[in-house]
Structure 1
Amino acid sequence: MKKIYIIFLLLASLGMLWSCQEDEQVVLKHPDSFVLNVPKYASGIYDLKNMETIEFTTSQPDYGFTAVANYSVEISLTEDFAKSDTLPGTYTSAKFNVQAADIALALMGLYGIVDENEFPTEPFPLYVRLISVLNSNNDGAVKSNVIMLPRVKSYFALDPMVMPEEMYIIGNVAGNWSWDGATTMIPIWGTPGKFWSIQYLGQTGDGANAEIKFNTVKEWDGNEFGFSGTAINESGTADPGASDSGGNIGIGNPGWYIVVVTTTINGREYEYAVDFFPPHVHLQGPTAGGNWDTTDEIYRFAIPDLSLGADADFVSPPFTNDGEIRASIKLPGQEWWHTEFLVFDGVFVPRGTGDDQERVSGKAGQRLYINFTEFTGKIQ
C-alpha cells in the first residue's frame, strides 16, 4: 500500500507541474531600444589602416525572456543616419570585434568618393548603432542607441583599378552576336590594356553591313561597349565609315581592318578608344631580305578579296632567303615585335605579352599563310 501511495503522489505532482507550465505563456516584448556601450578608448584616434578590429559591447534587449539575439552593426557619417551602411556579418555575444577593413570599405560608399586624392586625410566623427533581431524573419527587430567615435581616420580602401587582361569582339559577322563565337583580341606587348585583331568586317550573307561591340568578358554583363561613350578612330589611319548603329559600331565601308582597343583608367572608370588601321601584315628578318622593322610593300601579305568572306588566308610574298620566319603587324608607337606572331603545327600563335617565341625556319620561295579568323596557318 505504501508503494502505491508514493506512486500516486508522484503522478499528482507531475500533473500539477504540467498544469503550471501550461499556464505560463512566453510573451515577446518589443523594447524601444537597448544599450550599445561607448568603447573604452573612444576618445583616441581609430586609425583603420593600422588596426585590425574595434571592440564593441552591448546589453541584450529586454525581450521578456532569455534569447539569443543577432546583432548587426550600422554606421553613418551623421547622427541622424540619413545615409548609412550595414557592415557584413552578425554577432550573438554581448562583446564582439568588428573588422576595421569592413568599416573602411563601407565608408567608401558613404563618402561616394572615386578619386583617391579627394578622400579625407584628417580624422572625422563616425556614428554607430546596433540592430538586434531574433531570427531570419527579423522578429524582435530593435535599434540601439547611437554612439559617436569622435576621431576615426580612414583611407581609400578600394582595390586599385587594373587594366583588363582580356578583350573580345562580338558582332553580326564576328560571332554572329554569340559570345561563344566571339573573337579573342591579342594583347600588345608592353602596353597593358591595349589589344589588336585583324577582322573581316564585310557584309553579312543578307547584305547587311558589319556591326561590332566589345567586352572584357564573354557575356552580356552591362559592361560591353560600342559606339556610345567610346572614342572612335581618333588615331586610326583607315576609314571604316563608323557610325552609331543602335549602340553598336556600324561599318559603312566593308573591308578587312586591324582593330585596336586602347583602355585608359579615369578615376574608378574604364575609358575605351577603338581605332581602325589598314590590314597590313609584313614578313620580318631573314625571309624579308634580312630587313627588320620593315613595312615595305615588297614584304607585305596579300589581303584576301572580300568575296571570299571571313574564312580566307592572308598570304605572304615568297621568302627571299632560307632562315627563321618572323612576321608582324606594325602599329604607331609600337615596336614590330610587340605585335609579332608565328605558326606552330598549323596553329596561329601571337606573341602577345609573352617572351620571345621559339624559332620556325623556312626555305626561300615558300610562303606563310595566316587565317586570322580561325587562328590557323601554314608554311608551304
Structure 2
Amino acid sequence: MKNIFSLIILLAGIGFFYACEDNDNIVLQQPESFVLNTPKYASGIYDLQHTETIEFTTSQPDYGFTAATLYAVEISLSQNFAEYATLAGSYSTAKFDISAQDVAVALVALHEVEEESNYPVDPHPLYVRLSATISGSKVSPVYSNVITLPQVLGYFALEAMTMPEEMYIIGNVAGNWDWNSSTEMIPVWGSPGKFWAMQYLGQTGDGGNAEIKFNYAKEWNGNEFGYNDVTIGEGSDGISGNDDNNITIGNPGWYIVVVTTAIEGRGYTFSVDFLPPYVYLQGDVNGGHWGTTDEAYRFAIPDLSLGADAEFVSPAFTAATAADGGIRASIQLPGHEWWHTEFMVFDGVFIPRGAGGDQDRVAGTVGQRLSINFTNRTGNIE
C-alpha cells in the first residue's frame, strides 16, 4: 500500500511539473500580420446589387496560443488604405460571409457622392483587409494582408431608414424655445416612432396662445417640423398654423400630445393628435378595473390658472394593494392597451414605462391618492 501511495504522489508531482511548464510556455505574442485569402471567384464581377453575400476565409493571427479572435472587415478604394470604411459587425470564425449591401452602402461614402447620377457605373477595384483583436482584451489590433477584388460593381445604396427613438416639443410655453428646457416625449410601447406627452398649452404671460414645434433631435438642425409639415388629427379643434410654421393652440388647456411617425421614401411623415388630458387609475387600487376609462377613476385636471407647474391628482384608492399587485396608472390612446402608456412614481420621480419592460410595483392603501406633476416629472403617493 505504501508503494502505491508513493507512486500516486510521484505521478501528481510530474503532472504539476508539466502543468507549470505549459503555463510558462503560454506567452502572448504580438503578431505583425496574418493571412486573408483571396476568394476563389475574385476575378469575376461582384455585382453588389444582385449579390447577397461575399465569402472570406482567413488564418488566425499567431498569438502564441489559440485565442478567441474577432475579425472586422475594412474596405478601401486605394491599396494603401489612405481612406477606408469598416463594415458593421464582427466575426469569430475563420470563414464568414459579409453582406453585399453593407459593402455597397460603405462604397457610397467612400466615393463621396450625394446623388445617384454621380455614382460610378463601371466595375472598379476594391481593396479589402481584416483587423483582428482578442475578444475581451486590450491587445492592439493586428491587420491582415490586403487583397484585391478587381471588378466590383456598386450602386447608390443608402442605409435603411429607421424610426426616430426620441421626440421633443418646444414652444413659447414648452421650454420657451430653448431645447434644453423642451419636453421629452414618451415612446408608446410596441409602436416605434410613436410618442406621447401630457403638455400644458395654456396662454403665455401676455395672453398669447401657445405655439409649438417638434424635432427628433434636441436642437435646431433643420429637421424641426411644425404645422405645414404634419397631419393634424381629427377632433383637434382650435389648432392652426402661423407665419413661422408653428402650431398654434386656439383653445388653451392641458393636452395629451401624440406624434406618430411614418417612413416615406427617404424621409419621415408625421401626424399629430391633441387629445383630452385624461389619466386613469388602473387595477387593484380601483377595485380591479383594468383598462378603464370610467370617469370615476380619472385624475382631476388642474386648473389652468395654476400654470404648467401643477399636479394631476387621482381619486382616493378604494382598495389596498400589496407590492405584487401595485398601484397602476395610465393614459389611454385609441387602438392601444392601457399598459402601452402606463407610468408610476418611484421615490418622488415620475417614470413612464415607455418602450421598456414591466415596471416594479408600488404598494398602496385605502384612501391614498397618486399625484403627478407631468411638467417636472415628479409625484407622490399619500
- The answer to whether the 8 Å contact 2:239/2:247 transfers is no
Contact 1:199 1:259 in 2 (8 A): yes
Tell which structure's C-alpha radius of gyration is larger: 1
Question: Cα offset for 1:242?
Answer: 3.0
Change (3 A) 1:47 1:280: same
Q: Distance in 2 between the 1:100 and 1:298 partners?
A: 59
Q: How many Å apart are 1:47 and its aligned residue?
A: 3.3
CA shift digits 1:262-321 (9 cap, x unpaired) = 111111101111111000000000111210000000000110111111111111111111
d(CA) in 1 for partners of 2:332 and 2:197? 12
**Following the alignment from structure 1 to structure 2, what is the Cα–Cα distance between the partners of residues 54 and 44?**
19
Gaps spanning 5+ residues in structure 1: where? 1-40, 58-69, 73-86, 90-98, 114-118, 129-148
Q: Does residue 122 of structure 2 align to residue 125 of structure 1?
A: yes
Question: C-alpha offsets along residues 185-243 of structure 1, whole Å, 9 cap, x if unaligned?
Answer: 00011100100000010001111100001111111011111111211224xx4424333
Aligned mates of 1:212, 1:337 — CA distance in 2: 28
For the 8 Å contact 2:104–2:154, the answer to whether it is kept is no
Q: 1:56 to 1:187 in 2, by over 3 A?
A: closer
**Equivalent residue, structure 1, for 2:54:** 50
After superposition, where does 1:167-178 map in structure 2 within 5 Å?
A: 167-178=167-178
Aligned to 2:379: 377
Alignment of 1:359-378 (within 5 A): 359-378=361-380
What is the match of residue 136 of structure 1? none
How far apart are residue 364 of structure 1 and its match? 1.1
Deviation at 1:361, TM superposition (A): 1.3
CA-based RMSD of the aligned residues comes to: 3.2
Count of matched residue positions in the alignment of Structure 1 and Structure 2? 275
Once the two structures are TM-superposed, the CA of residue 110 in structure 1 deviates from its matched residue by 4.2
Deviation at residue 109 of structure 1 after TM alignment: 3.3
Q: Deviations over 1:350-380 (max 9, x none)?
A: 0111111111111111111111111010111
In the alignment, is residue 275 of structure 1 matched against residue 279 of structure 2? no
Distance 1:124 1:110 in 2: 13
Distance 1:198 1:361 in 2: 25
* 8 Å Cα contact 2:116/2:156 also seen in 1: no
Cα distance in 1 for partners of 2:198, 2:209 equals 17
Is 1:351 matched with 2:348?
A: no
1:168, distance to aligned residue in structure 2 (A) = 0.7
Sequence identity of aligned pairs in percent? 62
Contact 1:124 1:152 (8 Å CA) reproduced: no
Matches within 5 A, 1:134-149: none
Q: 1:157 to 1:337 in 2, by over 3 A?
A: same
CA distance in 1, matches of 2:264, 2:46: 31
Alignment of 1:1-380 (within 5 A): 44-48=44-48, 50=54, 102-105=106-109, 106=111, 109-111=114-116, 125=122, 152-155=152-155, 157-234=157-234, 237-323=235-321, 324-380=326-382
The normalised TM-score by structure 2 is 0.65
Do the aligned partners of residues 161 and 344 (structure 1) sit closer, same or farther apart at CA in structure 2, a change above 3 Å counting? same
AA aligned opposite 2:257: V
Q: TM-score, normalised by structure 1?
A: 0.65
Does the Cα contact within 8 Å between 1:124 and 1:151 map onto a contact in 2? no
Give the structure 2 partner of residue 134 of structure 1: none
In structure 2, how many angstroms separate the alpha carbons of the residues matched to 1:232 and 1:203?
20
Structure 1 Cα separation of the partners of residues 81 and 311 of structure 2: 66
Specify whether residues 112 and 251 from structure 1 end up closer, same or farther in structure 2 by C-alpha distance, changes over 3 A only: farther
Change (3 A) 1:56 1:208: closer
SS of residue paired to 1:343: strand
Letter in structure 1 aligned against 2:334: P
Find the residue that maps to 1:228 and give its secondary structure. Answer: helix
8 A Cα contact 2:161 2:263, kept in partner:
yes
Aligned position for 1:21? none
